[in-house]
């Protein structure tokens, strides 16, 4: 039996592997990666390394074994057909008769196009008949705290979310929930709506960032159209990605990422990381 993590060297995947190493022997963990060199540190600690690519289905042949628990961390190649990529992993897991197939999805309340691939992947999982666990991850603190340089330079937080609130948590929190599901019992065919314990507004975020940085940080609320223009212009993002982020802000304004149901803290057994703590960590980095 192995606990198999796809996307293991990504931001979330690394947190998951680190959490698993605290719970189970390293040789019971398999890290699925595209670049073996990036997993050298895990291999040195005894983690099994498997090289496979969502875009090359045959690389998953024989990768899973009966009784394995698998965590499919959703792909981030929006332009390459993520549902098809996810089906490659799902089909291989189904053929191997794995014990549990966990998937990092999106909140059930999210209507932005970003959620479409997740909903379609969930449908494929349910149709397949595998024993599953759906981890509907909310928004990450790091989605904002990893991009502080332009904010601190302009002294403003620019978003198209109006007065909407975000119940975010740290990546490490979501990873800890995945570890709890993969190493615990009673998670078969369960769906978890994962979010932070407290929802915050961007005005509050700007005020907290200002307090910690010692600067006057304003919240600049703009329209979705203006926001996507800023993302494609000043930030240089591809238009499709900018459109996705604009739609997410529209969803935030509608309250779709504000729910604080408590699944995340219940799974991890501890409070989620406040946005203020993630701001502090980013400023001290």
Query: What is the spatial distance between Cα 269 and Cα 264, in angstroms, rounded to a whole number?
Result: 8
The CATH code of the domain that includes 104 is 3.40.50.720
**Measuring CA to CA, how many Å separate 198 from each of 16, 141, 178, 274?**
23, 12, 20, 7
Domain that holds residue 266: 3-139+170-194+260-272
CB 3 within 8 A of CB 28: yes
In the chain, what is the straight-line distance between the N-terminal and C-terminal CA atoms, in Å? 38
Report yes or no on 34 lying in a domain.
yes
Using left for φ > 0, alpha for ψ between -120 and 50, and beta otherwise, residue 62 falls in: left
Tens digit of pLDDT per residue, the chain (285 long)? 899 999 999 999 999 999 999 999 999 999 999 999 999 999 999 999 999 999 899 999 999 999 999 999 998 766 567 899 999 999 999 999 999 999 999 999 999 988 999 999 999 999 999 999 999 999 999 999 998 999 999 999 999 999 999 999 999 999 999 999 999 999 999 999 999 999 999 999 999 999 999 999 999 999 999 999 999 987 788 898 899 999 999 999 999 999 999 999 999 999 999 999 999 999 998
Packing angle, helices 171-183 and 11-21, rounded to 10: 50
Indicate the number of domains in the chain.
1
148 Cβ neighbours under 8 A, 6+ residues apart: 209, 279, 282, 283
Phi, psi of 274 (to 5 degrees): -65, 150
**147 within some domain:** no
Q: Is residue 29 part of a domain?
A: yes
Residue 64 lies in a domain: yes
| Under 8 Å between Cβ of 98 and 64 | yes
Beta strand extents in 52-204 (DSSP E only): 69-72, 100-105, 132-137, 156-159, 165-166, 190-194, 200-201
Nearest to 86, CA basis, from 68, 105, 63, 66: 105
């Amino acid at each position: 039996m192995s606990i198999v993590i796809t996307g293991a060297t990504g931001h979330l995947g690394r947190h998951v592997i680190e959490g698993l190493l605290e719970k189970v022997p390293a040789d019971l963990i398999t890290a699925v990666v595209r670049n073996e060199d990036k997993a050298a540190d895990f291999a040195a600690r005894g983690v099994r390394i498997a090289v496979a690519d969502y875009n090359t289905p045959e690389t998953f042949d024989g990768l899973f074994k009966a009784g394995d628990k698998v965590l499919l961390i959703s792909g981030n190649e929006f332009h390459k057909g993520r549902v098809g990529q996810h089906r490659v992993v799902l089909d291989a897991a189904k053929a191997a008769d794995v014990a549990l197939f966990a998937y990092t999805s999106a909140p059930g309340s999210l209507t932005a196009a970003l959620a479409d691939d997740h909903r379609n992947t969930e449908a494929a999982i349910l149709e397949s008949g595998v024993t599953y666990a759906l981890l509907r991850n909310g928004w990450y603190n790091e989605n904002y705290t990893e991009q502080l340089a332009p904010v601190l330079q302009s002294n403003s937080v620019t978003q198209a979310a109006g007065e909407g609130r975000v119940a975010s948590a740290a990546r490490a929190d979501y990873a800890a929930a995945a570890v709890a599901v993969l190493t615990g019992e009673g998670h078969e065919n369960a769906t978890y709506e994962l979010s932070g314990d407290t929802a915050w507004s961007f005005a509050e975020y700007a005020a907290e960032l200002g307090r910690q940085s010692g600067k006057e940080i304003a919240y600049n609320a703009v329209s979705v159209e203006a926001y996507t223009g800023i993302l494609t212009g000043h930030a240089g993002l591809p238009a499709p990605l900018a459109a996705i982020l604009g739609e997410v802000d529209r969803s935030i304004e509608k309250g779709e990422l504000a729910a604080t149901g408590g699944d995340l803290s219940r799974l991890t057994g501890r409070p989620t990381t406040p946005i203020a703590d993630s701001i502090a960590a980013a400023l001290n980095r």
